[in-house]
Structure 1
Amino acid sequence: MNNRTVELSGHIIDSLVLPKTMDLIMDRGGDFDILEFDVGKRKSDISRAKILVSADSPDQLNMILDELSRLGASISELKEVQLVASTKDKVAPEGFYSTSNHTTHVLYNGNWIVVNDIEMDCTICIDEENERAYCKPLGDIKAGDMIVVGREGIKVTPPQRARGKQELFEFMNSDVSSEKPLMNLIRGIAKEMKEIKAKGGKIGIVGGPAIVHTGSGKYLAALIREGYIDALMAGNALATHDIESNLFGTSLGIEVETGNIVSHGHTHHMRAINKINNSGSIKNAVEDGTLTGGIMYECIKNDVPYVLAGSIRDDGPLPDVITNTLKSQELMREQAQSLDMVIMIATMLHSIAMGNLLPSRVKSICVDINPSTVTKLSDRGSAQVVGIVTDIGTFLPLLYNALHEDDDLDEI
């Protein structure tokens, strides 16, 4: 039998990491023996387990170890990471280590060093001169890069589930249900937002056009204006319909305030794009007086960075839309590493894209009327996401009100 000893540490019972580890080993056809098990007795104590993992073949064992690493299991024997130089741009050496989105350290030159800019499905590159480790996507690899291969000398630390009073962000407990107590969740989000901003942290929004369609654009614009939002990630549609709403009072040709169909309103989004094209950019449109309000207006006026990632289905698109997918990904990646919270609202594709780029330490909320949007994020590895299934037209006003419970809300 091929075998290796792995270690688990943390609140591995409360977080169900220990039973998940045993299930995974058996599901993959392996076997295990628990060599040591130290149970933390107080809420502040952690538990530790040392487990001998066995399999019929080296390949089977390696597959099991790969999956266990995503649960936070590390190989007991202290060996340095193995490095192999890439021989070609965009090509990693065979057996390269593929990252999770959890905090990761590597043992290099006798020291555990943190892997910077962690995100899932990347390689780990080592800057030997400066003894620095960092994530690198496959597409960014250059010939000569020193890439970590195998799984020796790698330690992954998933976020721990709280022991004690349950809080909103209990990692690894992101069940999805439309029957959750909505107001309690929203008050919890508002509380976290205030705490993050009080500490100088940053909050990002990933938004879809339904924000505007439901009449909630003014609430998001107000949150940007009041300093709660530090970055916006969206596509052509949200920006276009936000601008359409400001210029014509419609979204997809429907009057936002009344819900009435407007004659020839179906052309308004194209006319909105045309006006911005005439100004040259959204910023220019604000400066020349064409655009006087809305989400994008507040981003410009308050120096809030935004990334508008293009799609093959876009009309126009607006001049600010980035049609190079890799460039969009690069800019979203930069924002993802700087954020402490991300709220993803009514956009499946952009939410999944952002989820792939986020470190698991970032508190994340996904709000959508469709439960499958929320579950897709969890299924793709973003286990830290809190899912809320509700109408966007309900969520944003309630969130705004929760942030201003003691304020006069007659005017937004």
Structure 2
Amino acid sequence: MTVARTVELEGHIIDSGMMQQCFGVVMDLGGNFDVEVFEVGEHKDAESYCRMTVTADDEESLREILHELHQHGAHLSDPPNATLKPAPGDRVVPHGFYSTTNHPTKVRYDDEWLPVENIEMDCAVVVEPGADGDPGDERDAENGRDGGPRAYTKVLNAIEEGDLVVTDEAGVRVDPPERPRGSKGPFGFMQGGVSAERPSESLIREIAESVAETKAEGGSVLAVAGPAVIHSGAGDALARLVREGYVDMLSAGNGFAVHDLERGQYGTSLGMDVETLESPRKGHKHHIYTISEIIRAGGIEQAVEQGLVEEGVMYECVVNDAPYVLAGSIRDDGPLPDTITDAVEAQNAIREQAREADLVVMLSTLLHSVAVGNCLPSTTKVVCVDINPATVTQLLDRGSAQAIGMVTDVGTFVPKLAEVLVDDA
């Protein structure tokens, strides 16, 4: 005896590869499909539609197939309202809770589709009815909402007892970004790819155009920077981008800030002279001396106010009101007073910053880039630059649809990007 459900695909399902992926999922998992309706868009901007019946040998096999189809944007033709179960305790989710992707998502509540706010991967979805005295009312009023129902993501450690958590996938709809209709620009659904042989200068110019366009539209650019930016000699160029208003926010670790501040104090980065590539006597102590002086001043902002710090990326962030998040790790010396040493607090700070970004430029820092990338929706434009192709591949494989990877020396990339944006503007 077989079991069956009917699913639908709609949009640019042919050229985005969605239909082929869904057919492959069904066959790979031992199921079968019968296409009932297939309407092909007759021109570039027209959408296509497919309705098919999916069959499997048993309910468990069918459930597995539907789960995978759901990830690719297929949805049930007769979706029920989402199943909501109260969280049994703080930081405890119900069994079978729905775990989010980073794609735009909606949940069905009271026969209507609610967009899920602050979408990011690996979260739970909480629904607040927000009417007739429900707990959402007060929060809606505080945030200027109309008091209607809402759905939003919550990381597991933020779940509170009684939260209405979405379980199962039947009442959830995922809409993966599709291939854009135009071919202009470096960003596009899975068009970025990774290759060390791509023409660097032309690609940098296209990235610069995207940065300038983002700024012209009132958007925000977030730079995620690793210590290699300073060590490679690109710190001055990144500082220039902050000063000229092309970088609005910075996300980094303790090491990046220490390298940058040491560069301003001693002209060295981790004891090496950035200009001559020589290591001066006692240069290996410069970073710890720098940390000591910043601690003595009370923090980076206070050091700037006292005239102790007069140049560099962190200096430009302070004087140009560009917010920064420095997330700590177990490897940190010091750390600096500005470094967030609580991991959960650092995650929350990164998450809030990432939600404000319209374009993210990730520069030679695998772990920090992955941390920020995990907080981004798939619709946020992402540039990942690293000399190691494995770093770029690992980041893009996490699921960013609107992303490009560039395998090159960050010490070459950042100065060239600054040159194009500022000098050639």
Considering the TM-score relative to the shorter chain, is it more than 0.5?
yes
Matched residue type, 2:79: L
Residue 241, structure 1, aligned to residue 253, structure 2: no
Kept in 2: contact 1:5–1:50 (CA 8 A): yes
Rounded Cα–Cα distance in structure 2 between residues aligned with 1:3 and 1:373: 42
Q: How many angstroms does 1:166 deviate by?
A: 4.7
Equivalent positions of 1:25-36 (< 5 A) are 25-36=26-37
Matched residue type, 1:347: T
Q: Which of 269, 276, 280 does residue 251 from structure 1 map onto? A: 269
User: 2:370 matched to which residue of 1?
Assistant: 352
Q: How many angstroms does 1:18 deviate by?
A: 1.2
Matched residue type, 1:297: Y
Kept in 2: contact 1:377–1:385 (CA 8 A): no
Equivalent positions of 1:239-388 (< 5 A) are 239-388=257-406
Q: Secondary structure at the match of 2:288?
A: helix
Matched residue type, 1:350: H
Deviates more, 1:141-150 or 1:164-173: 164-173
User: 1:410 matched to which residue of 2?
Assistant: none
Rounded Cα–Cα distance in structure 2 between residues aligned with 1:376 and 1:56: 36
Deviations along 1:288-316, one digit per CA (max 9) or x if unpaired, are: 11111100011111111111111111111
User: 1:120 matched to which residue of 2?
Assistant: 121
Equivalent positions of 1:170-181 (< 5 A) are 170-181=188-199
What count of residue pairs does the alignment treat as equivalent? 407
- Structure 1 residues 3 and 166, CA, compared in 2 at 3 Å: closer, same or farther? farther
Matched residue type, 1:327: E
User: 2:143 matched to which residue of 1?
Assistant: none
Kept in 1: contact 2:177–2:401 (CA 8 A): no
Rounded Cα–Cα distance in structure 1 between residues aligned with 2:411 and 2:394: 22
Deviations along 1:14-73, one digit per CA (max 9) or x if unpaired, are: 111111111122222222222211111211111111122222232222222222222111
Kept in 2: contact 1:377–1:383 (CA 8 A): no
Equivalent positions of 1:64-103 (< 5 A) are 64-103=65-104
Kept in 2: contact 1:105–1:115 (CA 8 A): yes
Rounded Cα–Cα distance in structure 1 between residues aligned with 2:193 and 2:31: 28
Q: Secondary structure at the match of 2:292?
A: helix
Rounded Cα–Cα distance in structure 2 between residues aligned with 1:65 and 1:398: 47
Question: Runs of 4+ in structure 1 displaced over 3 angstroms?
Answer: none
Matched residue type, 1:385: A
Rounded Cα–Cα distance in structure 1 between residues aligned with 2:285 and 2:77: 64
- Unaligned residue ranges in structure 1 (runs of 5+): 408-412
User: 1:203 matched to which residue of 2?
Assistant: 221
Q: Secondary structure at the match of 1:357?
A: coil
Matched residue type, 1:171: F
Matched residue type, 1:91: V
Rounded Cα–Cα distance in structure 1 between residues aligned with 2:384 and 2:25: 27
RMSD over aligned CA atoms reads 1.3
- TM-score (normalised: structure 1): 0.96
User: 2:171 matched to which residue of 1?
Assistant: 153
Q: Secondary structure at the match of 1:274?
A: helix
Q: How many angstroms does 1:151 deviate by?
A: 1.1
Deviations along 1:182-239, one digit per CA (max 9) or x if unpaired, are: 1221111111111111111111011100000011000110111111111111101100
User: 1:3 matched to which residue of 2?
Assistant: 4
Residue 43, structure 1, aligned to residue 48, structure 2: no
Deviations along 1:78-110, one digit per CA (max 9) or x if unpaired, are: 311111111111111111111111111112122
- Structure 1 residues 378 and 62, CA, compared in 2 at 3 Å: closer, same or farther? farther
Q: Secondary structure at the match of 1:331?
A: helix
- Unaligned residue ranges in structure 2 (runs of 5+): 131-147
Rounded Cα–Cα distance in structure 1 between residues aligned with 2:62 and 2:157: 29
User: 2:15 matched to which residue of 1?
Assistant: 14
Matched residue type, 2:83: Q
Q: Secondary structure at the match of 1:404?
A: helix
Kept in 2: contact 1:14–1:163 (CA 8 A): no
Residue 189, structure 1, aligned to residue 207, structure 2: yes
Deviates more, 1:202-211 or 1:69-78: 69-78
Q: Secondary structure at the match of 1:78?
A: coil
